[in-house]
Structures are given as C-alpha cells and as structure tokens.
Structure 1
Amino acid sequence: MPSSDHAERPPASPWIERFAPLVEEGGRVLDLACGSGRHAALFLNRGHPVTALDRDLSRLGDLLGPDGLETLEADLETGSPFPLAGRHFAAIVVTNYLYRPLFPAIVEALGPGGLLLYETFALGNERFGKPSNPDFLLKPGELLEAARQGGLHVLAYEDLEVEEPRPACLQSIAARKQG
C-alpha cells in the first residue's frame, strides 16, 4: 500500500477519518478535488480502490502509480458535463472545495447505500483568511439542505468554528444514499 506520509500531504481530516469505516468494504471511493491526495491515501491504506479527480494532479506525488488508484485530471468548473457521469461510487469525499452546481452530479454518482463525506468552509471563515469570498463559503445549513434535497439520509452534520489544524469555520456532513 502507498505511504500516507508524503512530505507535502497534510493529515486526513478527522471528520473523514471518523466516518471512513462506514464505507462499504472494498468499495470504490471518489476523492473529488483531491489536492495532495490526503484522503485518497487514507482510503487506499484502508484497502479501497480510489478515483482521484482534480484539475491538477501534480501534488499527488508518491500516490501516482499504485494499484487501486485511478486518476482523472479535469476542471469541474468549465460547464462541461461531469466527467464521471454514469459511474457510481461507494463513497465520495469532498473537502475544502465548493462549486455548488456539482451537488446534483455528486449525489447522482453515489451508488445505492453510498456515503457522502463532505467538509468545507462556511460563512465566518473570512475572519481567519482564505477563503473569504462568499461564493466559496457555505451559508448556514446549506450543506445540510443540499443533502436533504438530494434525498440523502443525514448521519451526522456539524457547522462549527474550529481551532485545529488552523482556525476556520467549517460545515461537515456524512450522508448516505438510500437504496
């Protein structure tokens, strides 16, 4: 299995680690807007095949090439169709990324019983630095409402100001697709 201690890779989000055991054993995980691959590494180390999608895959470093990792370089904000349309995943992980028009495609890409693990910045974060543009900050309850509109069963939700790993305002959700 690949090492998860890449020099430039921050540790996995505690929220994602908390719910990772709920992903169907051996089910394929989509790490959407994967960045340096911290969550791809987490799920690869847990024995899951992973699809890592980002507009720039160069930060994946030591993760490139291992068995079980599929990579896809795509800019999700061009208005093009979702590049994984028609595919389904046991889990989709999204952290530190918000592009609201993708919500329906994300829900559609969850397989029956699939788990959505989403954590990103919320209004109030502008006090702590970037992101500070309201286009990239969730409104109160927005992630919860998006999950409900998608017909997902919400397992857990938080809308908090955190201190670690750095001060931030975050919304986090774990939600399961029925079926």
Structure 2
Amino acid sequence: MASWDERFRAGEYPTDPDPSPVLEAYADETDGGRALDIACGTGRNAVFLAEQGYEVDALDRSVEGLRITESNAASRGVDDRVNLIQADATAFEYPADRYDVVTISFYRLLDRLSDVKAALRSDGLFFYQHHLRSDPPATVGPSTDRHRFGANELLRACLDLTVLYYEESSESREGELSATVELVGRNSHGDAQSYPETR
C-alpha cells in the first residue's frame, strides 16, 4: 500500500478541499483561542479554523500532507496561525487542558480518545468525522470495516461530553457509496447546559 506521502504527492486526495460544513456551522460555539486538527491531511479544517482566528496546531504523520497544508495556509494569508506538527497521532503526547477546539477527520483514533478529550479546555468543542460500516458496504474510504466505526460507536465513546450534534448518514456520488458519521460535543457537564439554536 502506498504511503500517505505518496498518496498526497500523487494527487489521490484533493489538495484544497472545503472544510466540513458541520464544523463550519459550529465553529462559533467557542470564543476562539487554540485549536488542534488531528490527522489534518491537506489542512481543510486547520486552514478554516485559522481563518476564523484560531491558533492551530495541525498534526499529521505525512510530511507531504503538511507541506500542502502549509501552502494552503500561506495562500489564504494565515500561515502565521498554523503550527505544523509532524507526528503519529496514535503516539503523540496530547497536552492536557490546552485546546478550545479539537478536530479529527477520517482517522480512527478511539484508542487515544480519552487523551484527546483531556486536551480540551472546559467548554471546548470536539468535532469528529469518520467512515461508517454500512449495509450495503460503502465503497468510499477504508477497504475493510476494521478502520470504520460501527453504528453508534462514536456516540457511545463521547457520552462524557455534551453532544450538540450527531448524525450517521450515507450518500451515493458518481456510483460510489459513502457512509459517514459526524459528531460535535462540548467539554461540559451537568444537568443544565446551553445549546446552540436549531439550524
């Protein structure tokens, strides 16, 4: 299997994709500050958050992905707000209580999820988007279910957060079936919470 550097270099993935619409909708739920984009790829969410005024740590193991992220940030004039971190997300030492926003897109990291959530400040926002197991099997994303989430698996893993948004969905695009899950949670607790208005 080709390395992520080779995949990015070969153009297998869009070099300047749009950020997640769900993340866009919820990005103003915090007052800015510092963000961490885990497995940032080519920087679609990292660059967006930097454009919203966040200081962003963009983490990925792929040097080529980080190079594209840096180029995208420079073209948008926000490279001074994007700090590139070349590291393996499964082994990275996540600093506790540091980030106002943490995002993960299309990378399975459940084994480290407790450490990732601990990196959120009080009332910090957590966004996670990933591939789902489905019937019929999705053709977009990992070739086996081992790297996909099962039904409600991500939701169960985040019940210690205040879940603001959760959706499992599928769609057909150009003959390919995609099945995904998206979650937005806030690092807050208690019986009384503030919630965003219905969108």
TM range (shorter): 0.7 to 0.9
Contact 1:25 1:48 in 2 (8 A): no
What are the equivalent positions in structure 2 for 1:83-162 lying under 5 Å apart?
A: 83-124=93-134, 126-148=137-159, 151-162=160-171
Deviation for aligned residue 1:119: 0.7
What is the DSSP-based 3-state SS (H/G/I as helix, E as strand, rest coil) of the residue aligned with 1:67? Answer: helix
CA RMSD, 1 decimal: 2.1
- Partner amino acid for 2:52? R
- Partner amino acid for 1:12? P
How many residues get paired? 167
Contact 1:91 1:116 in 2 (8 A): yes
What is the DSSP-based 3-state SS (H/G/I as helix, E as strand, rest coil) of the residue aligned with 1:127? Answer: coil
Q: Which has the greater radius of gyration? A: 2
- The alpha-carbon distance between structure 1 residues 164 and 21, as it changes in their structure 2 partners (threshold 3 A), is farther
Partner of 2:50: 44
Instruction: Choose the corresponding residue for 1:71, options 84, 90, 111.
Output: 84
Partners of 2:31 and 2:15 in 1: CA distance: 28
Deviation for aligned residue 1:75: 1.1
Partner of 1:4: none
Task: Give unpaired runs (5+ residues) of structure 1.
Answer: 1-6
Contact 2:169 2:181 in 1 (8 A): yes
Task: Give unpaired runs (5+ residues) of structure 2.
Answer: 1-13, 190-199
Partners of 2:47 and 2:172 in 1: CA distance: 24
Partners of 2:164 and 2:140 in 1: CA distance: 30
| Cα distance per residue 1:106-127 (max 9 Å; x no partner) | 1111110011011110102843
Partners of 2:121 and 2:111 in 1: CA distance: 20
Deviation for aligned residue 1:87: 5.0
Partners of 1:67 and 1:164 in 2: CA distance: 36
Partners of 1:163 and 1:114 in 2: CA distance: 33
- Partner amino acid for 1:27? G
TM (norm. structure 2) is 0.76
| Cα distance per residue 1:67-98 (max 9 Å; x no partner) | 12111110123xx4x32333511010111111
Deviation for aligned residue 1:164: 6.0
Partners of 2:145 and 2:180 in 1: CA distance: 13
What is the DSSP-based 3-state SS (H/G/I as helix, E as strand, rest coil) of the residue aligned with 2:53? Answer: coil
Partners of 2:26 and 2:83 in 1: CA distance: 22
